[in-house]
Each structure stands twice: as C-alpha cells, then as structure tokens.
Structure 1
C-alpha cells in the first residue's frame, strides 16, 4: 500500500511539473474515480442477486465519468475553462446524462429485492418526474444559465440537467430509506448519502460556473465532492445486502408523485398564456400531463390485480369457500371488542369445526378426482342456509369450519345438528353413491364490550386462537366417539392436556432411566418352590410418584414408545436374572410383549442382543404374549415366535381365555405355557362353571405339553382349589406382591425358595416356615 501511495504522489508531482498543477488534480480525480468505479462494478460479483443492481449503477456511473473526464481534459482550473469544455463537447455532456438512467435502475432494482410485489408503476414514476423536471428547467433555468455563461442550448441543458436529475435520485433514495427503515440496512442509507453529495456537488458547480460562487477553490471542492460520491457508492456496493419481507401497498401516497407532477405541469401550461415559454417547455409540460393519465391507468390496473390477489389469498381454490387465513381474520374480528353502548351487553361467538368421516376410504376407493368432487358437494351443503351472519371456510384437507357470530352454545348445537343431517344424505359419485358423515366439534366464546386499542385487538387474536383450539378438541372427542356432535368439555380437555404432558414426561423418563422393574414370584404348586418371576414395569415419576403399568402403558402404545419401554424392561430383567443366578438363584424371568412389539421386525434382534450382552441363558427367558396380540397378524406372529424360539427363549400365552380367537392357533404355535387370566381365579370359589373351565383348560394345556400357570391367587382356599385341579404354577398376592429388584434376594433368603403359605400334597396345615435349599431348575 505504501508503494502504491508513493507511486501516485510521484505521478502527481511529475504531471504537475510538466503540464500544470490543474492537470495533475484532474489526473488524480480520474484515477481515483476509475479505481472506485472498478470497486462498484466488481464488488458485488460474489453475490448473484446483487449483480444486476450494481451492474446497472456501474454502467450509469461509467457514462457520467467518461463525459466528465472529457470535459475536464483541457481544464485550467477556472470556471471559464469549464464553459470552454462545454462549448467544445456539449453533445457529449448531454449524452452523459443518460448515465442517470443506470443509477435510477440500480435504485429500483435494490428496492425490488427488498419489497415483494413492487408495483410496476413505481418504475414509471422516475420517467414521469424526469420529464416534468425537464420542463421546469427549460422554463426557469436554461435561459438564465445561457445568459450568465454564454453557452448554447445543449451546453445549458447539460449544466442544469445534472442537479435536476440529482434531485430525482436523492428523492428516491430518501423514499427507500423511509419504506425500508432508516436503520434497516447500511447499503440503503449509504445510497442516500452518496446522492446527497452528488446533488451538493452539481448544484455548487452550476453556481460556480454562473459566477454566483467566486474563486478558484470551488472547482477543486466540486471535484472532491464527486470523488466522495463515488467513494460512498463503492462502500455501499461492498456492504452486505439483505432481502426484506416488506410488501408494496397501494395507498394515497402512491398518487402523491403524479399529483405533484400534475400541479407543476398545469401551472407551467397556465403561465404559458401569460408569458410564453420556449417550445420545449410546453412540449415537456404536455408530456407531464399525459404521464399523469398513464400513471392513473397503471395504478388502477394494479389495484384490480392486488384486489384479485387478495381474494385468491383468502379463498380456497377447490371449493370457493374462505380459507384458513380468511377464517382466522374473521374470527378475530368477531371476537374483537364491540362498541360501547349505554347498557353492558354480552354476546357470544360460536365455532363449528367438522372433519369428514371415512373420507380416506372415498379417496382410496373412487380416486382423488371423485374425492375432490365430494369435498365440493360437502362445501355446498355446509354453506346451505345458516344463521346470518355466518362464514363457512375450508381449513384444509377434509376439515371445514363455520363461524357463527352472535350465536350461543345452544344455537350452535342446533345449527350443528342440522348440518350433520345434511351431510348424512347420500352423495352421488360416478355410477354409485356414498355416505359420509362428519365429526363436529362445537365451542363458544363470550364477547364483551370494551375499548378499541391495540391491547384489545391482541386479546381478541388470542381468544380466536383459543376458541378454535377448543372446537378442534371437541371435534376429536366426537371422532373418538365414532362421529356425531360434541361440545367442548373443559374437564376432558384438561385430561387431554395432562395426558400430553404425561406423554412428554414419559419420553424424557425413558431416557432418564425412570422406568424400573418390580418382580412377582411364580410358584410351583406341587413343591411350593419359587421357579420364576414376572417383570412388571413401574415408572418413578418425579412429580406423581410411582406409577403402575395401567397408568402409562396404553399411553406408551399410543405415543409409539412401547418399543423403548419393552427394551428397557427386557434389559433390566435380563441383568437382574443374571445377577440372581450368580448368587445361586437361577430363576426363570417372564417379560410381557405388547402387540406393537411382537409385530415389529426388530424384536428378535433386540432379544438376541440383550441375551448376548447380559449373558442371560435364553432358556430362562419367557416372553408373554396375549391371544389378542397373536391374532392381530397370525402369520407374522407365528414367524416372530419361531425366530424367538430359535434363540432359545420360550413363549407364554398371557391372559388366556379373555381374547377373541380360535383354538386352532395352539396347534401351530410352539408355546411353552398357558397363563390363565385372573378373572377366572376370582370366580373360582363361587362359580362351578368357572371351576370346570379351569379344569378343562388345564387338561388342554397338559395334552398339548404346555405348562399351566394361573395368576391372581390371593388366598389359601383358591390355591388349594387350583392345586386340586392340576394347575402347575400360580402367581398372586397370596405368595408375594410385586417387589423391587433389590428386595427379591432378601425375600428369597427369608423363605429359602419356598413361597409362604403353600401346602404340598399330603402335608399338614400350611406353614410359613421356610424350607432350606435352592429352587429346582425351572422346567
């Protein structure tokens, strides 16, 4: 950099000594302007979106710089020297004014990048304003400049044209700052500064040439201001740009410029009768008037286009109804504060939210084209006579909404019932007809009189969001009930909210290790020995305490995290079983499998991975599956069970007798155990038919080579009856309640492997005295 500066200084001194110091100043001016011009042209090349902007500006700046350099080529530092240059190169100076078109184009492209949907008539404003400014200059400035300088018409036009066009560029730059915000972007602010410097420079130049400003120093000042203009423009070119989300608006301000031009043009033409202007002035003033007419036509066309765009933005394309955006706006307006009157009156706004039932079946059966036809027919039925005023909207898919201002809950229910009846009528689709009902949710919200401020408007927007959410909640409540109508139920909504919070907590709890296993012993009825335990999951919730399976397993299935729950339970059970075996208690371990887990293709891999990592003997692992689960997909279930058996694990049919299935699957399914549901155990002492069912089921299990285990044993009498019926194993509170893993070994040590209260065949009264010895290997 020091070498470059030294070279420039040396060049200036050489030129000044050889040809005069004014030539040196001009040479420096040209060199600096060319360098800055290169920055303007090449700075934004790395950003494709800015190339057009600064390419246009660079082209316009080049024309101005070339004309200025030629005019100053023989300048001697005086105003007369500038006039001599204009006399010699007047046409070139006028052609150089075309560079303003490039600068103006750069400004408009900058604005277009930052304002979506920039109105096309905004481009016309520059041409129109330039025409009227030319008329003003022709009428008021060209003559006095010619008189003061002796220039011809072209020279005078070149002199007054620059500051006039500078006014246009500076005004546009200020307008951009106003539209986008004065602190929105440095590049836009720098444009205003640059064109302000150019306006000051060219205005001072005109006054200097005309003799108003005297002294040779003004020429140097004008050159420095020109260099400053190009320098600021170069900084703006390399400053980072951005795109704004602003949107052009059609308002009275759109017509401000043409109205001003109409006033100026009309005034000039009116004064022409009192004091005839030169012919160019009259022609330009007439062109200005014509421009006003063109501007009005352009704005009218834009208003129509924007109105059509607004209608499209608020209308559903398929049905012609209002869309979600329009409905939300109308709902917020309806819930807004009502005007104050003498008496305080409370009104209500109701919303019906409906979702078609079985619509997916229509699409799958008849195709999407007929599905669209069904939506159009539904839209027409929903829009049939409703309480006035009302608004019907399609929110998306097969979901519609009805806004009923001034209608309470009772009136909304009547309207919903009528609507449901209309939707039950058959809809002709092609050769046949189909019926599709709807699930309709109803919600209301009170509207009270109040102020009209921004706070009230914000409150109305929040209320609109809440009432729509309530209608949506009621609609899903109706859908879960099989369709029909449902009004918003605050208690049900609170339960649903609590369930959603619990679902979130469950996901976090699985990761945080809050799921733990409790174990309940399984006892051999003949020997009284504990032969296994069933793993029963518990959730140590940080707020609600210990939750049982009934409190969260259905939620886990619904939320799709049952696989993670099963993996956690299986992992803990395997590690605990290995630990107990290492301390001399080789117990069988049973783990329940949900439907989603059995049908998941990764289950065998999960089991294999767990037994491999933990070192569990797969022969001691029993996977409990309900009959209902098996019958969801018998083929896949059989395939999965076969793969589990290959790993060495065994399968138990859990809750046997409560599902809806055929006995045929027992022939093909290689299970090891039938586990009779506790509902039979509870009726054993009072219902002879239950005793026969248990007896026949036990005989069936034994004939198929299966072990018979009965759960729900809560007293000694039930245990004796089951032993007499030939049951193999029992499980229940009579033996022990489910206990944490840490309590299993102490419990076994206390009872020596015998379950308390068990009578063996031929023994005396039941006793809780422990019998020494370890449990026999599970069979």
Structure 2
C-alpha cells in the first residue's frame, strides 16, 4: 500500500519552515547539529519513498540519497573543523565529501532521464550543451578564472576551488534537461520537485562561490543555508510523492511536438559573450576576448545544428498535421474533407467545370451498422470499418480515392470509370465484394451495403451538388432489390423525400405544414378506445402528404428533431385538451428519439406543454425504442425517472426489434410495452411468432407492465391476443391514422363493433391453419 497523497506535502510544510528557522539560530555547534539533522531527513525521505513506491530505477534514487548523505557528512566534518579544531583547513576531507556528492547526484539524475527514452537525447544534449557553454563562460569569467589566477595559491587549492563551479555547471546542464523533461512527462509533480531541488542546490552553490569576490554576500553567507536545506527537503519530497514511480518508469512515447520555442534561450546564450565584453569595456577591465571567442566557437555550430533540427521537426509536424487533417482516424483512409477537395480538384481540371474528365463517384452505406456495433461493441465496429476500407481499396483499385465520409458510409472517386454503364457495373461489383464475409481476428462478419452512383461531370459540376445527388442516389438504392442506383432527376421528386427538401423542414414547422394524424389504441378486454398515438405527416405544397419515413430520419441527422418533437408534443396536447373538453377522455402518445431523450430541456418542455394546455401528466404517453433507452443508460434513467415521477406514462415502442431484455427494461420506469408489428402480423399462421408474443405478454404481466400489440390487421388476430390476455391493440384492422376531425366518429365505430368481437359473438375456425371470423352482423374492418 502506497503512502497517502498528503505525506510529501506534510514533509515539505514541515521541512521548509524548519530550514528558515535554522538560519535564525545563533551560530554555533547547536545550529550546525540542527542543520545536519534537517539535511539528513532528505536521505531518509528518499529511502522511505523508494521502499514504499518500488520504482523501476531504484538505483537512481539510492545514488541521490548517497549524494545527500555525503554532503551532510561533509557539513558535519566542516562543523567539527570549525567549532572543535577551531581551524577549517582548505582543502580538507570535507571538500572530498562535498565533491563526491556531485557525481552521485549526476549519475542518479542521468539514470532517471535516460529512462524517459533515448530518442530524445540528441535534442536534449544539444539544448543542454548550448546553455551549459553559456553558463560555463559566465563561470569562467566571474568564478573560475579569478580563482585560478590568485597568486601564491597552491595548485591543489586552486584545483579544488575551480572544481566546485565545474561541478555546478554539470548540475546546471542536468537541470536544463529536467526542465525539458517536465514538459515531456506532462508536468509530473515528482519531476517538478526534483528540478526545483537541483535549481536550489545550484543557486546556493553559485552564491557561496560568489561570496569569495562579493563582500556583501560574504557578510551574509548564513542566509545561503536555508537554500541548501530547501534543496534537501525538495529532493526528499520528490521521492515521497507517488508520481516518482511514474517518473522512474521507462517511457515509450516519442516526442513528436516541439517543446516550446527555444529561440529566445539560444539568442540569450549567444549574446552572453558580447554582453560580457561590452560590460568589461565600459568598466575599463581586461576583456576576456579569448574566452568569449572560444565559447562562441562552440556555441555557434551547436545553435546552427539545433536550428536545423528544429526546422526539420517543424517541417515534419506541418506535413503530419496536414495528413491528420485529411485522414480518418479509425480506418486511415481519406476523410470527407479530403474527398470533397479531390472532387473539386477533378471538376476543375477541364477548361471549365462542365468539360472536366469523366469519373465515377460511388457513395456506399453499411446497412444496420449501428445495430451491429451495439451488439458486438465499438471495438468490433471499428475493426469492421477497417476491414471494409481495406476490401474497398482492393475492389476499387490503386487509381481510386477511397474515403470514409461518416460513421458507416464510404466514398469512392474512380477516374477509370468513363460511362454510366461502367459506373453501375463497378457499383454492383463493389457491393457484391463487400458483402462477402469479413474475417476479423475472432469472428467472421457479413454486412449488407447500398451504393449510390454519380457520373462526373454529367450529374453535377459543383462539389456540393455532386455530393448531394450521390446521397439522393443512395437513398433510392436502399429501396431497390439490387441496392444500387445511379442518380436521376426523377429521384428528386420520388417517393422518398430528397435531401434537397430537408432544408424546408424547419420552415414547414413555422408554416404549419406538419400535421398530426391519430391512430386509436383499443383495450382488448372491453373494446374501449383508451387513447391515440400521434403520428406526424408533412402536408407538402408540391409533393402532397408525406409520411414520417420521408423526413423523421433526416430530421434526426440534421438536428431538427428537437423542434419537431416540441411541435408535435404541443399540437398533440392541444388536440387532447379539445377532445377532453368535448367529453372524449382520451390519452395521447408521442414518440421520442435519441436526441430528445438526451436533451437536458426535455423535462421542462413536457412540463410547460402540459401546463399550457391545462392537462394532467397522466394523459400523456411518451414512447421510446429499446435502442433509444440504451444509448446513454444513465441519462435515460434520470430523465425517464423524472418524467415518471411527474405522472407521464412511459412505454417501449417496437419491442422485440432491439437487443435489450425485459430484465434490463425493468430498471427503466416504463409501464407499457408495444410489441412490434413484425411479430403480431404472423400471430395466426406462424407459431414461433405466436410463442414470442405469448411469452412476452406473460413475462410483462409478471413485471407489472401492460402490453400493446401493434399491427392488428384482422379480427382473428384480435381474438388471439384476447386469448393471450393482451392489454391493448392498435392497427389498420381497428382503424388507420386519421385527422383529428375524423377521430370521434372512428372511436364510435370501434366501440360499437369491437366489444361484440371480443365477447365471442364471432366464431373462429382454426382448422387447417386458417382463421376466419364469422360475426353476427356484417363485419366492418375500418379503413378510415
């Protein structure tokens, strides 16, 4: 078990104030004992942190712990010389201990830095070398050369004296590398603490070395002690921090992005030499021309190499970003942006757009891909998309541009297609090839596809027009047996609403062209009409009355489904209020889409609509599909729970066509299931369908749910559902959706006829697997 997250903070909050307090103590053996005790805690903290966090590079931390211990031993020996022997010799064994700490620090830090990945070292070494040469020049001018030039000083003393600034230069180079590592490690807290400790150590050393030449610093040299102590404390805190384990782990990621702009730092490094010479000339001091020239001779080539690498890196980044902007992340194919640009470039290659070379554009859509992905998972869905992309590339050939245009649609731009015939043949060939089984790692999957074909430039000379017409052709292909279609003008006004008309939908809401028809829901046991389902229609001024299949799916894709649902909800509740005031106590059901259920304003919209029309919440039924409820289960439970608490009746529409179970649906606050018509229409002649309906009704009853059967086309089906104790039914055999003015008469007709049917006034002949209802009065199957 690792240390609590607050341990390193407690150590810092205790250690740093202690370091400051130590400096305030009177000079003497007692103060030095406190100083060494605080410094020794750095070694202890590192050992504790290593034993608790078990880093991969433990040796690096132990080397640094030994380095601090060596330094503390040097401090203790120096204090003994100063207070016991009364003479502090120079050099002494304390200097040996001090200088021994530097290679220990450097070795430990370099091991950690090396673990972050050798691929970063060329750049890191260059950056460190440039700035280290600059610091070395400063150290030579102000520390090393004045120390070395002292007359009468023994050689050993001078060597020891200059060893300190040289060692600090080594630590400074590593500090630069640590600062770069802080970015590469995404601001690892342990790395920041480590960098701060090295910075404090170097700063304290430089101040101490300057005290030899600057009287003010020499008079207040005890103020340097807290900085050294802070370095020990921060070093220990870095080891105590849990992030030290990550810092010590090898890194496999490569730095592919430039870490900031180093130009300012390099410019400052190059200007240090001229600045030193200028200052020395102004101060009438001997200029260090040789040292500046020598340092510049090292720095200028290093900066040139570094700048060359930086330009190369930026060039690669620009190229890489361009590739990413034009590439689909999942499949590695071109994306919609790249595809549209390629279409535009092709259309622009002729003398004018109308004279562009002939080419075929195929728009390919995977059927029911969403269902496959929900069943097998998103990872398998991505694998399918990659497999489709690879096979499509093989089928289309090397000269074709393949792109993934959206979630489950692909595009092909093939310049080898020269006629409408060859375009349609290519579409059929590609469709057949894609529908062969796809062999994934753990399973084999088959997909169905539809292909829309556009011929350039015959079917359009503008990119936007071409892509829209390809979408029109794809919509037409979905309705054809071969699931391929080439664009034709007649498609714009065909049975399916053309995409060009989707832009009119929002205006249709404002103009009141969206109208509602209502289909009765009948209680099986009594034959009473309980309520109605509101179904949207578009009374288009040119194309006549359009069904929901023409615009609902497009409204969901384009985001208009929100305003459309609010419109339908308001109109349905307004009509419900009119009926109830006229003595017709009906409830009204409205369908919700995925976007509606995920809309944070849905609950407020429902509450406002009920209040606006003076209705109780229990007159409203909201229908959702199984897939809708499972897109975001957490959000669904929250929203549906709030609606249920309001008193709104919630139901699952088209039950049986999704992939959920009654056990899952029990978690949702629904009170009603609507069995899909695909099971109900086969109820009489298909025993498996009958078994599914019967078991669903029985299980739902045990779960406290009512069942409504959709698609009831005749009285025999109604009687079978009555025998199964189904709660309610709806379908063309009872009544088609009608405008609101016709609904009261339809209700009267249903309630006059259906009770006799369910009371057994008809005879059902099941012989030979057929069913026939013989009624005591003429049977009327309402087709209003």
The bucket for the TM-score relative to the shorter chain is: 0.3 to 0.5
Structure label with greater radius of gyration: 1
Q: If the length of structure 1 is used for normalisation, what is the TM-score?
A: 0.47
Q: If the length of structure 2 is used for normalisation, what is the TM-score?
A: 0.47
